[in-house]
Amino acid sequence: MRSVLLSKSVSANLPKIYVLLSLRWMMFIIPILVIFFYDNGLDQTQVMILQSLFSIAIVLFEIPSGYFSDVMGRKLTVVLGCILGSCGFLIYSFSFGFWGFLAAELVLGLGASFISGTDSALVYDTLAQLGREAEYPKIEGRCSSICNFSETAASIIGGMLAAVSLRTPFYLETAFMLMTIPLALTLVEPERHRWDASQGNWNSILQIVRFSLHENKVLKWLIFYASVTGASTLTMVWFIQPYLKESGLPLSLFGVVWAALNFSVGIFSMYAYRIERKLGRRRILLLQIPLMTIGFILAGLFQTLWAIPVLFIFYFVRGINRPVMKSYINQMVSSDKRATVISVSNMTGRMIFALAGPVIGLIKDRFSLSYALFTAALIILTSGSIVLVFLNKHRVLTNSS
């Protein structure tokens, strides 16, 4: 009887996670964020430096927070992430320049690192306790869809609120983030293996990093693949608003386009597991690099209203990448180090973005948006091809299952 009640309480984690993600991803600020930065005196290079430093903050905190999750528990880690996220948006609401924005981004980066990886590990561990591990790709895709559908709705609202002032969306963002804290407190810690920290915390962390990026060759190159593709789509996210501006789209329609893009990625995420099942592992891995390369080239060639649909290429990749790659990685890792390994993957992607983002932003400011996007195409084609060579070497691409 007790096990039945426990299973029921643990199963309630799933709808709670859905609601929590929907609140966290009500990103009212996103469709006007770059324009907000411009309005406060920043240029594109500073925007990319700001996001690079945000990524570096995540890099610094990602693995320790993942390890914290594995040792101290999923619930506590999510609660701390929600508290820090609320504080970050509160700081943003009352900041007016680069240094204030940087302080907000660093707090948000710390908060994001606590939730990043832990949410996926919590979902997987919950399903494992219920004997439903096979459903993980479907559930992860659903979580991604919820995030993007929430951002879709928030984009439309945020665009309308920007007509009041560019700062109004930040106030509403803070209110929604505060609502995540009491919800996170109701989560139930699922059963899982506990990581043996008898060797010391840092030694244990280094052991997991070594396992992820050195000892397990297949896992290493899957992580690099997820990192390269993730960093590439993230780069394009920060160039969409300059792209729309140069295409001549009215500011009042930015939220509508952003909503359409995020709605599409929600649909792609929802059906990612079916797409992966249909195409198989080989084709799904071979598909993403050339798609993004073509997308960057087309966006660099054409900055006009009729070319805006090119952006959906990136959101297709963005939609299928997260659930598919996290499923591959989760299948190779035990629950005692699952959140830390996912954090290693997220950290690697953020490191790539932190290095490449400011360079591409500088090229945009010094030369043109087209040159910046062509540079991004060259980076993704070169780095992605190298990763695919090693995946093929370790026979990941020879198995289409």
- Taking only the tens of pLDDT, the chain with its 401 residues reads 444 444 557 778 888 888 888 888 888 887 778 778 888 888 878 887 887 888 777 777 766 666 677 777 778 888 888 999 899 999 988 888 889 999 998 898 888 878 877 777 788 788 877 878 777 777 877 777 787 778 778 877 887 787 787 888 888 899 999 999 998 888 887 776 454 444 445 666 677 777 766 667 777 788 888 888 888 888 888 788 888 888 888 776 777 887 888 778 777 877 777 777 777 777 878 888 888 898 889 988 887 888 888 888 888 888 777 777 777 777 766 666 666 677 777 777 777 887 887 888 888 888 888 889 898 899 888 888 888 888 777 776 675 44
Find all residues with CB under 8 Å of 104, minimum gap 6, and list them.
88, 89, 91, 92, 95
Q: How far apart are CA 18 and CA 13, in angstroms?
A: 9
In the chain, what is the straight-line distance between the N-terminal and C-terminal CA atoms, in Å?
Answer: 39
Give residue 84's identity as a one-letter amino acid code: L
Q: How far is it, in rounded angstroms, from Cα 277 to Cα 119?
A: 24
Residue 83 has a pLDDT of 92
Q: Do the Cβ atoms of 269 and 141 come closer than 8 Å?
A: yes
Q: Distance (Å, rounded) from C-alpha 28 to C-alpha 94? A: 16
- Phi, psi of 321, deg, nearest 5: -65, -50
Structure tokens at 271: 């059906």
Identify the pLDDT of residue 335: 62
Both structure tokens of 206: 């280094």
Residue 363's alpha-carbon distances to 340, 368, 383, in angstroms, are: 35, 7, 19
pLDDT of residue 57: 77
